[in-house]
Chains A and B, each alone.
Chain A
Amino acid sequence: MTAFILKRLLSGVITIWFIATATFVGMHAVPGNPLLNAKAASPEVQKNLQARYGLDKPVTTQYVIFLNNMLHGEFGISFTQKNRRVNDIIAEHFPVSATLGVLALVIAAAGGIIWGAVTALYRDKWPDATIMLFVVVAVSVPSFVFAMLGQLGILKLNELLGFSLLPVAGWGSFGHMLVPALVLGLGTMAYLTRLMRSSMLEVTSADFIRTARAKGVSTLRIFFKHQLRNAILPVVTVLGPAIAAITTGGFVVELVFAIPGLGRYFVQAVQQLDYTVIMGTTVFYGAFLVIMVLAVDIVYGFIDPRIRVGKSGG
């Protein structure tokens, strides 16, 4: 197990280096000058600005400096918010995205597992049909439509109640997170529901379930002790990619609900060509995803004894 984790960690480090390099190359291929502003600056000021951000050095030197700084966990100063380090920006905005993402993931995973299990239990009956209809809709309707409808829904709800049950936008309390997280998690929830359903059905027709029934185990006990755990396994494997989808897919929700998350910040940074923020954010997200996938693999190992006890195949 330790060797397995070490091996994965090493490849994770190389992966992060790859991401960083790809970002650096991509960023420097972007046409346009990040230091331009609505008010033209004299060549002197331009030069001063370039010196300030180290853009006057050759690209290779910049790359070395960038990697070196990255090793020390330092991404430089933002181009648009001239007084803030990228680290501070990430440290401040990422927890927001992460909180939202975790809540969305919890909703998605819990919902996906519950609904998936319910549909499998009620296979081809109306609860199955109803939930699967919702799933199909949730998978097919773009998230921005849901975000819009979600906000409209809060508004109508508050109007109906005559007081503000849920805030329409913003960030702070739990109420702020609820609908955005629901909207954000919806697609993943639908996906997980489908997965859980087919996984449940596969498990339901598995031989060991028949064995359990043949030995007189009650339906309830079969469901909890035999079906769920086995059916959840494939769901757990996709949690890594799901985390990726949720954390990086938060832009729209963050935009619509005015949530100060890193996703929204990234879009703004791209629009303003904020080099350091773009590079910092991308590398950070890349590293985050690598770590999450690794974490999911380890968690999977705990659930699936075949991996935990057995060989550490990769």
Chain B
Amino acid sequence: MMNAFRPTPQDFYPLIKQDEADVVVRPSLSYWQNAWRRLKRNRRALISLYIVVFLLLFSFAAPQVFEFDSQSQDLTQLSKTPGLERQSLVVDTAPWEGRFAAHPATDGPLQAVTDLQVIDVAHTEAVRLAWAPVAGASYYRVYRHILRPSGDKDLGLPLGETEYVDQVSFEDRLKLDTVKYYYSVQAVSKMGEVSPYTTVAVQPRHAISVRDAVARGLLEPEQLQQRIGTEVTLKRHLLGTDYLGRDMLARLVYGGQTSLLIGIVAPLLFVALGIVYGGLAGYLGGRIDELMMRFADFVIALPFLLFMILFRVAMGIGPGESGIVPMLLALVLLSWPAVARLVRGQMLQIREQPFVDAARLMGAGSGYLIFRHMLPNVMGVVLVSLTFSIPSAIFTEAFLSFIGMGVAPPTPSWGSMCNDGVKSFMSHPHELLFPAFMISITVLAFNLLGDGLRDALDARMKD
């Protein structure tokens, strides 16, 4: 292969090397620079890092820039799934007296209700029904279904009974939605016999009462009467609302503040405590070390969740308090020993290493030794364990809030939102799925970031 090439004498003049030839090809990087470079190469970890940054911005920076109102309740838009129409009819709030009719003679077999009709426009503030009186009826029962009834065992929700003997009307205000309803009315005799049912179908329009419209600033208080019957556009809820008509997105933002605060601050605190404790034990060594670690072992042996619950109850949450502090405290009190153990183990290893001896020989003081030599070498491991502590802290918060032992209302947290949402999982799954998704994505991001960091720092997580 090299036969074709015929070198000339010039080729054999001594090579004059440029300076850079002697320079090592790769720039020398510090431990952290190197780690950062490796982390950047790990696509999953990098994306996770972006997600974490996004979540932090989402929860902490976004409310500074945009206005999120997680408190105000919109009773006209309860448990709305995202992206529903927002046009709403303005309706009067004056109570309805109902309709009354003289009763025909009260004997003979009980007939089915006739002439069942919807009075006025049916809307989500009220659906008003009226019917013709039935001979022998003592009162009437009203049902509401979302399907066309298939028999007298399938009339739907029992809404109630009429209050007065001559009353032949009913006003339904029970959590009305803009779906098609089938109202059924049965007459009931004094003896408790029940007549066949009569059904009417109706689809209410979305409505807002004048009172609410003014309260929400959708109408000027001046021209109220003229505006009844017109339409207004309701506030937009990007991710829908919860069971009290509060904006889901705003709740997620503020819930994120709680969850991330607990999830990040608690690990920071207990890692700090762990470093001090473990570092001290590892540095002092001997009998003190043994005693300190024995105590740490005790704390590790406490059943974690049981004690979380116990501490949460023991510390108590006063009126108006969020309950974040007790939970942070409980987390810190129970979680530090693992870090302490880890740090101590590392310290013991590092203490034996030649560079520490060398520094000692050169007359370095203890403080200098600890802060200049020992701690920086522990930081990698600590950082990784910190990253992995965050998802478990977030899980702990979610778990405790889920069983009602977490933060106190009205403070939202993703866990307590799940707890609220789980009850209506079948009817409004978004109330559970959104916060659950936020928890999952956060935990996922921190886990993957932790993996990436561990690889990047090459930290051995073995204790």
Contacts and interface: CB of A to CB of B under 8 A. Distances in A.
Contacts of B314: 26-27, 29-31
B301 interface: yes
A270 B395 CA distance: 20
B316 A140 contact: no
B interface: dominant SS: helix
Contact of A148 (B298, B306, B432, B440): B432
Contacts, number: 110
B68 to A, nearest CB: 24
B21 to A, nearest CB: 36
B313 A270 contact: yes
A26 B307 CA distance: 9
Interface stretch (A75-83, A85-93, A162-170, A279-287): A279-287
Interface in B414-448: 415, 418, 422, 425, 432, 436, 439-441, 443-444, 447-448
A248 B303 contact: yes
B313 A248 contact: no
Kindly name the residue among B395, B398, B439 whose own CB sees the greatest number of chain A CB atoms within 10 A: B395
Contacts of A15: 297-298, 301
Given A141-B436, A270-B310, A136 B444 contact: yes
Nearest to A279: B310
A236 interface: no
Given A27-B310, A270-B405, A11 B303 contact: no
Given A31-B316, A142-B402, A251-B403, A22 B444 contact: no
A267 B301 contact: no
B418 A282 contact: no
A290 B418 CA distance: 33
Interface residues of A, number: 41
A18 B298 contact: yes
B304 interface: yes
B280 interface: no
A306 B116 CA distance: 86
Contacts of B243: none
Given A144-B422, A248-B304, A251-B403, A270 B440 contact: no
Given A11-B297, A141-B436, A244-B304, A148 B403 contact: no
B309 interface: yes
Contact-residue bracket for chain B: 35 or more
Contacts of A252: 399, 402-403
A140 B399 contact: no
A109 interface: no
Contacts of A148: 422, 425, 432
Nearest to B310: A26
A18 B301 contact: yes
A145 B418 contact: yes
Given A11-B297, A19-B301, A267-B309, A140 B403 contact: no
Contacts of B307: 22-23, 26, 282
A273 B313 CA distance: 9
Interface in B388-402: 391, 395, 398-399, 402
A265 B418 CA distance: 22
Interface in A128-150: 136-137, 139-145, 148
B311 interface: yes
A55 B6 CA distance: 105
A136 B405 contact: no
Interface of A: 11, 14-15, 18-19, 22-23, 26-27, 29-31, 136-137, 139-145, 148, 244, 248-249, 251-252, 255, 266-267, 270-271, 273, 278, 281-282, 285-286, 289-290, 293
9 closest A-B pairs (Cβ-Cβ)? A140-B444, A29-B314, A18-B298, A140-B443, A140-B440, A285-B303, A15-B301, A26-B310, A30-B314
Given A29-B314, A271-B404, 14 more contacts: A23-B307, A23-B310, A27-B310, A136-B444, A136-B447, A136-B448, A142-B402, A142-B415, A145-B418, A145-B436, A244-B303, A270-B313, A270-B405, A286-B303
18 contacts: A15-B297, A18-B298, A23-B307, A23-B310, A26-B311, A27-B314, A31-B314, A139-B391, A139-B444, A142-B439, A142-B440, A144-B399, A144-B418, A249-B305, A252-B399, A271-B404, A282-B310, A286-B301
